Amino acid sequence: MTVTYSLHVSKARLCGFAKLLVRWRGSIYKLLYREMLIFIFLYYFLWALYRVFLNENQKGTFEKLAIYCEAFTELIPLSFVLGFYVTIVVGRWWNQFLAIPWPDKCSMLISAYVNGADERGRIIRRTLARYLNLMSALTFQAISPAVKKRFPTIDHLIEAGLMTKEELRVYDEVLMTHGKWWVPAQWFTAVATRARREGRIKDDVLLKHLLDEMHVFRGNCGLLFSFDWISIPLVYTQVVTLAIYTYFIATLMGRQYLNPEKGYPGHEIDLYVPVFTLLQFFFYMGWLKVAEQLINPFGEDDDDFELNWCLDRNLQLSYNTVDVMHQRHPLLVKDAFWDESEPQLPYTRSSFNLRTQPHLGSAMNLDVNLEEAEFIQMETIMEDDKDENNYSSPPRSPSFDLGHSNFVLDTPTRRTSTCSIDADSTSLSRSKILDFPGSKFVNMIIGSNRELSCSIDSVKDTQSNSVSTPFILKSPCPKRRSSCEPSLVINETRMSAESPLLTSLSQEEINVGGENLETEDQHVLYQEKPPDHCIIKIPDLSVVEEESSSGSRGSSPVNDFGLPGILIEGNIDPVVATPYEPNTSQESLSSSDSQSTNIYSPLIKSV
């Protein structure tokens, strides 16, 4: 079992770690004393050979060899190689502990999801818990020598109560040579599915949650097999081991104290005990022993994980959770702090000094001078408008108020001679029509279309109060007509009874057939006309040509977005429109009649 000393280091004090040096179980002395005795014996053997048995000529050869070995030890990067190796081993050791499967969560889900107070419900719950423990036992038996000694064969698992004889026959029928530790997971799935069909698990969501947690348990068992299968590459372990043993074999000769009278550099003093050499051996060789002990924590070392204890603990916990404590809890009573808004837990005399105040922020106790805590009047900084700061304002938007039922349409003078395009002289009045394969798409991009324009030479400047728009919406009239006589039917009586779309015009003049119609907060409904007319559907800003023999009066057009739009009838010249996207969803709500307001209403110019 892992040696723990957490209580002894819970508080830092004088010689807190030094008291741990006298412990034997799990200590470095227990791991290293054999290697240390061998190193000391070999060192003093060479020491006695140099001082007693060799003559002067032989001593000279020994001294040259000792100096050479001392220089050789400085070439081995021992700290780098060993430190990197131990770091990998310690990280792998902790990941192996995290991979140990614990049935706590899965057992609680079994107790919560598998219902039934009868004997069959109890059998299902206990069987599911036993399959979890059986799977972990088969896994530990394959990777841990300690568990293998406890359960050498499958028959020992039957005798221990983790498997039945009928289950052993089914287990033996599974023909597989790559390990069958996963078979209890399949049995778990089958039993849980049967419990769902019997109605003991209420719905498929609970079944999925239970199976997902079982898969996590099974994945941890497979991860332990992976750690046992894939070790740290053997070449790295060999390199580190050879570096350590080679280094200290060289120090047996290189750290010998030579005769000070001969004046060898670094040998001005003669000692009988190589203190720092022994400490160096203790540190480096002890570091290697740490890696040796942690590289496989499922063995029988003092700091290895005790998997036999894990099996005993998991078995008791799982059976208590799914059976003894199934849907059982203490009586529900009022707690001790029922009427207290700020409950406080008591302290004992020994713990009263550990009471601390709540943290309210490091700056809460900061004292600020009262004179510096008064607000001051900030000066207004005026910004000079210089010529280089002037900029051209973007095209102004139409006077459109979402909170009211009307908006303003700027309507220039209408021309009745031929279909033409009105545009701002600064934007598209000088656009050129291109004629080559694919020119239709290019002309559409740059704002010029030969089929959509009746005559590019007839483009003229609009009135001074016209609104500049980023693009021109053209009415597709592929079949030119000699004249475009307007045909607008305005009905002021049929409003919302037959058509859901009403457009409000406030204090504006619409030039229709040379006559001005003034409306004062009146609802104007554009109705359908029989054939030979153009329909403009807004807010999708698309202009389509509709030629039909008859039309249904009172119906409102619907755009591509499924929203009602404005229907303008007649052979109308191309229309210039500017779309405005709403900022928030509240802009789509009307403030007066609770009807849906057209949030894409454009500026329509009919000329």
Report yes or no on 331 lying in a domain.
no
**Which span out of 244-253, 487-496, 512-521 was modeled with the highest average pLDDT?**
244-253
pLDDT tens-place string over residues 467-484:
444 444 444 444 444 444
How high is the pLDDT of residue 442? 63
| Digit-coded pLDDT (tens) for 513-523 | 444 444 444 44
pLDDT range class, residue 444, cuts 50, 70, 90: low
* Within a domain: 526: yes
pLDDT for 391 equals: 54
pLDDT of the residue at 371: 85
Residue 499 belongs to some domain of the structure: yes
In the prediction, which pLDDT does 261 show? 84
Residues 223 and 250 in one domain: no
Q: pLDDT digit string (tens) for 235-248?
A: 999 999 999 999 99
Query: Do 473 and 607 fall within a single domain?
Result: yes
Q: Are residues 67 and 202 in the same domain?
A: no
**519 contacts 508 by C-beta, under 8 angstroms:** yes
Residue 454 lies in a domain: yes
pLDDT-derived band at 145 (thresholds 50, 70, 90) equals very high
Q: How confident is the model at residue 13 (pLDDT cuts 50, 70, 90)?
A: confident
Res 482: pLDDT: 42
Q: Residue 522: which H helix or E strand, with range?
A: strand 515-526
Q: Specify if 371 maps to a domain.
A: no
Q: How far apart are the first and last CA of the chain?
A: 95
Residue 266: which region, alpha, beta or left (left: phi > 0; alpha: psi -120 to 50)?
A: left
Contact 196, 207 (CB under 8 A): yes
**Are residues 574 and 538 part of one domain?**
yes
Give Cβ neighbours of residue 570 (< 8 Å, ≥ 6 apart). 484, 485, 486, 487, 488, 529, 533, 534
As a whole number of angstroms, the distance between CA 30 and CA 13 comes to 26
518 inside domain? yes
Q: Summarize pLDDT for 96-144 with one digit per residue, the tens.
A: 999 999 999 999 999 999 999 899 999 999 999 999 999 999 999 999 9
Query: Which of the given ranges, 247-251, 356-360, 458-462, has the highest pLDDT on average?
Result: 247-251
| 283: pLDDT strictly greater than 70 | yes
In a domain, 355, yes or no: no
Cα separation, 452 vs 440, whole angstroms: 10
For residues 224 and 254, state if they share a domain: no
Query: Is the domain of 439 the same as that of 502?
Result: yes
pLDDT at 331 over 70: yes
What is the reported pLDDT for 445? 65
Length of the chain, please? 607
Tens of pLDDT, residues 554-602: 444 444 444 444 444 444 444 444 444 454 444 434 444 434 444 444 4
| Predicted local confidence at residue 443, as pLDDT | 64
Mean pLDDT of 194-208: 95
Give percent of the chain above pLDDT 70.
Answer: 63
pTM: 0.60
- Higher model confidence: residue 559 or residue 294? 294
User: Could you tell me if residue 17 is inside a domain?
Assistant: no
Same domain, 449 and 496: yes
Same domain, 513 and 550: yes
223 and 247 housed in the same domain:
no
Give 79-97 as a 3 state SS string. Answer: HHHHHHHHHHHHHHHHHHH
Structure tokens at 77: 């990067």
Question: Predicted confidence band at 164 (pLDDT cuts at 50, 70, 90)?
Answer: very high
More confident residue, 585 or 31: 31
The verdict on 433 and 557 lying in the same domain is yes
Q: How many domains does the chain have?
A: 3
Domain that holds residue 488: 398-607
Check whether residue 575 and residue 441 sit in a common domain. yes
Residues 56 and 116 in one domain: no
Average pLDDT over residues 430-442: 58
